Amino acid sequence: MKSLRLSSPAKLNLYLKILSKRPDGFHNIKTLFQRINLCDELSFQPDDSGKIRISCDHPKVPTGSKNLVYKVARQLQELKPVSLGVKIDIQKNIPVAAGLAGGSSNAATALIGLNRVWKLGLSRRELLNIARKIGSDVAFFLHDTAWALGTEKGDKIRKLDIPKKLYFVLVTPCVSLYSWKVYGAFKMQLTKPGDDANILIRNLKQGNILEVGQLLKNDLEAAAIHLCPRLRPLKKKIQSLGITGVMVSGSGPSIFGIAESEQKAQEARQQLLKRYKQVFVVRTL
């Protein structure tokens, strides 16, 4: 029984349009996903105990049944006759509850890792069916792609071929924002003309960075700032450093913006570190 170690990347949503409320309480959305090189590390050590044991170096990450990785392992044990147990260690580099889908990425990585170390032989379609039960963002991370368009709950994925690699400045302030609260504060509005992810995708493929910066969209941003007004001056500060397309990531509280180069991103990071602890320079994977 060999151990396994896998990277678990974060994501940014460069476009997030909420289309309608679903009967199941979720929302139909249209979103542009992008993987970035800010990654957690998960290690898997199968054993004969039959038990699922989770450890993590971050104090705010649960290690019991509330952890999405634990839920994945339990569902796989119930789906297949798995007699083996596993010890999974999570090394966190992605900020927790930050709008970067670290937990969802960990869940997808657990699906991939356990399928291998437990030798389950599940197809990607079977893994996707489990992923959709765990969380809406999990499905994206099961696809081997840097870019994808997500529809329905965000779990219907279409891979996109976008060769452009972008550099971002990413700041996670020390505030708490829960996604259910942000969605609860969101107010549906009529779709405005020009709210089209296809225009953004076309400019990304053409490498038009300034146009891309003007086309980024997040319907949840206003609700996040309403719940956490401290995000507004942070957004203005990042903009003042010559960064374009500055926007709240997902349901927040992280805020990111596009830099014209890695050097420009690093220069902005040095300025932001004077006030904020969690400041990253990241790029498209």
Can you give the CATH number for the domain in which 206 is found? 3.30.70.890
Query: What does the pLDDT look like over 72-105, one tens digit per residue?
Result: 999 999 998 888 999 999 999 999 999 999 999 9
pTM score, two decimals? Answer: 0.94
Regarding whether 141 and 9 lie in a shared domain, the answer is yes
152-157: list long-range contacts, CB under 8 Å, 24+ apart: 152/28, 152/29, 153/22, 153/26, 153/27, 153/28, 153/29, 154/29, 154/31, 155/128, 155/131, 157/33
Regarding whether 111 and 218 lie in a shared domain, the answer is no
- Domain boundary (159, 184, 209) is at 159
Nearest by Cα to 284 from 91, 40, 16, 11: 11
- Domain boundary (113, 141, 159) is at 159
Regarding whether 166 and 148 lie in a shared domain, the answer is no
Provide the percentage of residues in the chain whose pLDDT is more than 90. 84
- What's the confidence (pLDDT) of residue 181? 87
- Count of structural domains within the chain: 2
What is the mean pLDDT of the segment spanning 156-185?
Answer: 91
- What's the confidence (pLDDT) of residue 60? 92
Inter-residue contact 91 to 41 (CB < 8 Å): yes
- What's the confidence (pLDDT) of residue 189? 64
Can you give the CATH number for the domain in which 63 is found? 3.30.230.10
What is the mean pLDDT of the segment spanning 57-86?
Answer: 94
Mean pLDDT of the chain, nearest integer = 93
What is the mean pLDDT of the segment spanning 256-282?
Answer: 97
Structure token digits, residue 263: 């050097």
Regarding whether 119 and 30 lie in a shared domain, the answer is yes
Range of the domain at 121: 4-159
Regarding whether 145 and 15 lie in a shared domain, the answer is yes
**pLDDT at residue 187 is higher than 80:** no
As annotated, the active-site residues are 11, 137
103: phi then psi, degrees, rounded to nearest 5 = -65, -40
Regarding whether 265 and 129 lie in a shared domain, the answer is no
Regarding whether 185 and 87 lie in a shared domain, the answer is no
CA 78/CA 186 separation, integer angstroms:
37
Query: What does the pLDDT look like over 202-252, one tens digit per residue?
Result: 999 999 998 999 999 999 999 999 999 999 999 999 999 999 999 999 999
Regarding whether 175 and 122 lie in a shared domain, the answer is no
Query: What does the pLDDT look like over 189-206, one tens digit per residue?
Result: 655 555 689 999 999 999
Regarding whether 192 and 127 lie in a shared domain, the answer is no
Regarding whether 184 and 115 lie in a shared domain, the answer is no
- Domain boundary (159, 191, 214) is at 159
Query: What does the pLDDT look like over 119-143, one tens digit per residue?
Result: 999 999 999 999 999 998 999 999 9
CA 104/CA 108 separation, integer angstroms:
6
Burial zone of 104 (CB within 10 Å; 0-12 exposed, 13-18 middle, 19+ buried): buried
Regarding whether 19 and 67 lie in a shared domain, the answer is yes
